[in-house]
Structure 1
Amino acid sequence: MKHAQKKNLILLWLAQAISQAGDAIYQLALLWLVLDMTHSTVITGIIAMSAYLPALIFGLYAGVFSDRMNRFKLMIFSNAGQALTVLLIPLVLWYGHENVWLICGFAFIRSCFNTLFQPALQSFIPMLFPPERIVKINAILVTSGHVAWMIGPFFAGILLSILSIKYLFLIDAASFLLGLALLLFITQPIHFSQPEDHSHWSELKQGLSYLFSQKPIFWMIIITFINNLFIMGPAIVGLPVLVKTALNGTASDFAFVEGCMAAGALGGSIIVAQLNGKLSNGIIWSIGLFLDGITYSFLYWASSVELAMVMIFLHGIGIPLIMVSRTSIIQLHTPNRYHGRLFSMVHLGVVGTTAVSSALVGIGTSIISVKLVFLGIGVGAALCGIISLMIPMLRNLR
């Protein structure tokens, strides 16, 4: 690997690790703050939904912007916007405006900026590294998120023993600014591809038409939509409800549970790197879907916070198998000029459906046991993996 590529990989990894550690702390702080203020799983679900709605509303157009604009500048703009928005949350709390719907609005705006960042990042990576290294590069970069989601919650758990939850939002804002500073040192491609002169709507239609013509990629994204309807709500809303109401845990306990999931995901990243070249990306992705779901159902039998930590660690192992293989499939099988639009569709499938899933879990846990929710949803998500393994065109994706 050339010196410039090594430097870019290190800078991208550090920038992602730092900003995603802030993300982990922010998500923990936001959901626990709302659950503590309202004592309502329904309102907590609605707030979680608001934080992911922008992907549903603007997600596809974010991909068009990524394909038309300088992706690097779009990443910088997004990080700056997220930092400034999240700073507003502790400010309004310090001035005594403890209005949950105002916090909901800030969460929505912050997510709007993040919706721009993800397709820009995933489209920018193939511009920095050669195709033959893409799978390994993705496997390395995805570990930044797992390290971040392990360190962030543990760090938050320690901080919550000495500071109020408001200060966690300041740490998130600082993480975005530090990540932004690191991105500025990346050696950029000399030539950015010039977009064709079409309207945004025309380019969106072109991207959708291309997706429909690529049946394996199309069905992979459809299954991603369905799987995330099962998985994401429990991950965002179900876990804090499980820890607080079913296991009588504290905010620190929730932080350590989240950290254990990230620790499992870090182990999964090592596994997926070892599987590269031995199994097709399609098989790795399908196995990840199955593990992601079936391990969630184990939480039905969680009787303590400590047992939940072990179970959620096992759940975390499947996450990178899904993420690395899916990202690599799109980057390797499709032209870079479509990557912004295609990754915005994946982001829509992952984050957009999180909005719906979070709201449904918030409502569901107000009616039935949260453990029963995990059991049913885990089995449903595991079936997505089994179905994927049974479809040859998905199973054979390299």
Structure 2
Amino acid sequence: MKKPNWKSSIARFLTAQTISLLGSSLVQYAIIWYITLSTSSGKMLTISTLCGFLPQIMISLFAGVWIDRYDRKKMIMLSDSVIAAATLLLAAAFFTGHRSYWLLFAVLAVRSAGTGIQTPAVNAIIPQLVPQEYLMKINGINSTLSSLMMFLSPALSGAILTVAPLETTLLIDVVTAVIGVCITATIYVKPYEQKAAEKNEKTEGKIKNSSLEDIRSGFRYLKENRFIKRLLIYQITILFLISPSAFLTPLMVSRTFGEEVWRLTASEMTYSLGMVLGGIVIASWGGFKKKMNTTLFAGAAYGLLMIGLGIAPVFLFYLICNTMIGITSPCYNAPITVTIQENVPPKMQGRIFSFMQIAGSCALPFGMAVFGPLADMIQVQRILCGAGILVVLISLSVKYNLLRCAYKL
């Protein structure tokens, strides 16, 4: 049987992931808003936030091993199916009158764990679908589609909740998940050489079935590969420092420019719009020839724009800087993803992408834990300016050291 064209395969794969992401985003917003409006409790929102973060962090290490060991397409389909099944059970419970907040928290935890598997699996499977020279373009398109869904989801979710109960939104997610799984099932995924490697190891008596041993081998690879190790450290540091721009800007807007809801909405929408534009930019441009130059340049630009947020004299200037920050985000992230896809062995990519996901899942909340209380003692503008200066200096200082390591890969 003739193998399908790779462009057809990746188009169907991205379509499936976009449809699935739309449903997931609708439900994520709907659940959080339902808890917010029905309880007005900071404690309940804290619990829901923990349910959204902790399972993803806890499962990511093992998820990387599973992604490297098993069929990645099946892992994506399985995680999507489990999330859909949990969402369907929640919808059934609400339809029958069992409206428990703890059920909501349980489903948020299941969805978080599923995302902890699905996200690195998607990043790891793309090189099996796409020729290496097109990886930047495809990752840029994927970033654009994801950003577009995140841009549309709040408005769509709000519109649905105004005319229908929560369980209707839950059913939409189930339908989109089923569509996504069915499309993914039709895609041919080129296998990598993991099977042959396992066969050789079995012959030599070296095979190890322990997931913990596989995790240790991932850490050994990270320790021995100086470039990937330093890239991970840089990623953790930058995500920690940019957390004020991710979490504290609504507080700054309300304190400085006014407490009107439209201002907070404009702040969120301009960032999402910027991410859509940034995805289009990186997909069409492709970045600098030396990919890490693109990431480091975007990191430095992000820092400068954080300073711009901090010194913004009027709200319009703030919105322009916020949009530009959104544009830099895909230009920062896409080259990192492509660099890992190109340089890390396929049998190790699941674990490395999981390490990157853990870095993001830990660094941002930790940054908020540090900068959040600080915002009650000093102006948010000063925090943004100080953190922005550090982001610029770190991005420029690691440029040559990180790039030298990259060219030795």
Per the normalisation by structure 2, the TM-score is 0.81
Candidates 201, 208, 211, aligned match of 1:200? 211
Q: How does 1:89-128 map to 2 (within 5 A)?
A: 95=97, 97=99, 99=101, 102-128=103-129
- Tell me the equivalent position of 2:344: 334
Cα offset, 1:329, TM superposition: 0.7
Distance 1:58 1:293, change over 3 A: farther
Cα offset, 1:300, TM superposition: 4.3
Which range moved further: 334-343 or 264-273?
A: 264-273
Could you say which structure has the greater relative contact order, defined with CA pairs below 8 angstroms and 6 or more residues apart?
A: 1
Which range moved further: 194-203 or 164-173?
A: 164-173
- Tell me the equivalent position of 2:204: none
Identity %: 23
- Tell me the equivalent position of 1:53: 54
Cα offset, 1:55, TM superposition: 3.4
Cα offset, 1:133, TM superposition: 2.4
- Tell me the equivalent position of 1:13: 14
Distance 1:163 1:47, change over 3 A: same
Aligned counterparts of 1:257 and 1:377: Cα–Cα separation in 2: 20
8 Å CA contact 2:299, 2:332 repeated in 1? yes
- Tell me the equivalent position of 2:232: 221
Cα deviation 1:352-396 (Å, max 9, x = unaligned)? 434434555665667766666555554544444333335353696
Cα deviation 1:24-62 (Å, max 9, x = unaligned)? 434433444444455455753553233121233221221
Counterpart code for 1:4: N
> Is 1:63–2:56 an aligned residue pair?
no
Aligned counterparts of 2:249 and 2:166: Cα–Cα separation in 1: 18
8 Å CA contact 1:154, 1:255 repeated in 2? no
- Tell me the equivalent position of 1:178: 179
Aligned counterparts of 1:86 and 1:361: Cα–Cα separation in 2: 34
Q: How does 1:246-265 map to 2 (within 5 A)?
A: 247-250=258-261, 257-265=267-275
Counterpart code for 1:322: Y
Cα offset, 1:339, TM superposition: 0.8
Which range moved further: 47-56 or 169-178?
A: 169-178
Aligned counterparts of 2:9 and 2:336: Cα–Cα separation in 1: 22
Aligned counterparts of 1:334 and 1:128: Cα–Cα separation in 2: 16
Counterpart code for 1:288: A
Candidates 343, 349, 363, aligned match of 2:359? 349
Cα deviation 1:311-345 (Å, max 9, x = unaligned)? 43222101111221001111111211111111111
C-alpha RMSD of matched pairs (Å): 3.6
8 Å CA contact 1:48, 1:359 repeated in 2? no
Cα deviation 1:242-291 (Å, max 9, x = unaligned)? 678875354x8766644432221122123324543644111111122233
Per the normalisation by structure 1, the TM-score is 0.83
8 Å CA contact 2:19, 2:177 repeated in 1? yes
Aligned counterparts of 2:160 and 2:228: Cα–Cα separation in 1: 43
- Tell me the equivalent position of 1:148: 149
Runs of 5+ in structure 2 lacking a partner?
Answer: 202-206
Aligned counterparts of 1:104 and 1:389: Cα–Cα separation in 2: 42
Q: Is the radius of gyration larger for structure 1 or structure 2? A: 2
Cα offset, 1:229, TM superposition: 2.4
Aligned counterparts of 1:375 and 1:168: Cα–Cα separation in 2: 40
8 Å CA contact 1:54, 1:352 repeated in 2? no
Distance 1:22 1:323, change over 3 A: farther
Aligned counterparts of 1:31 and 1:24: Cα–Cα separation in 2: 11
Cα deviation 1:38-93 (Å, max 9, x = unaligned)? 54557535532331212332212211111111111100011112223344556666
Cα offset, 1:188, TM superposition: 2.4
- Tell me the equivalent position of 1:291: 301
Aligned counterparts of 2:385 and 2:88: Cα–Cα separation in 1: 37
8 Å CA contact 2:16, 2:183 repeated in 1? yes
> Is 1:385–2:395 an aligned residue pair?
yes
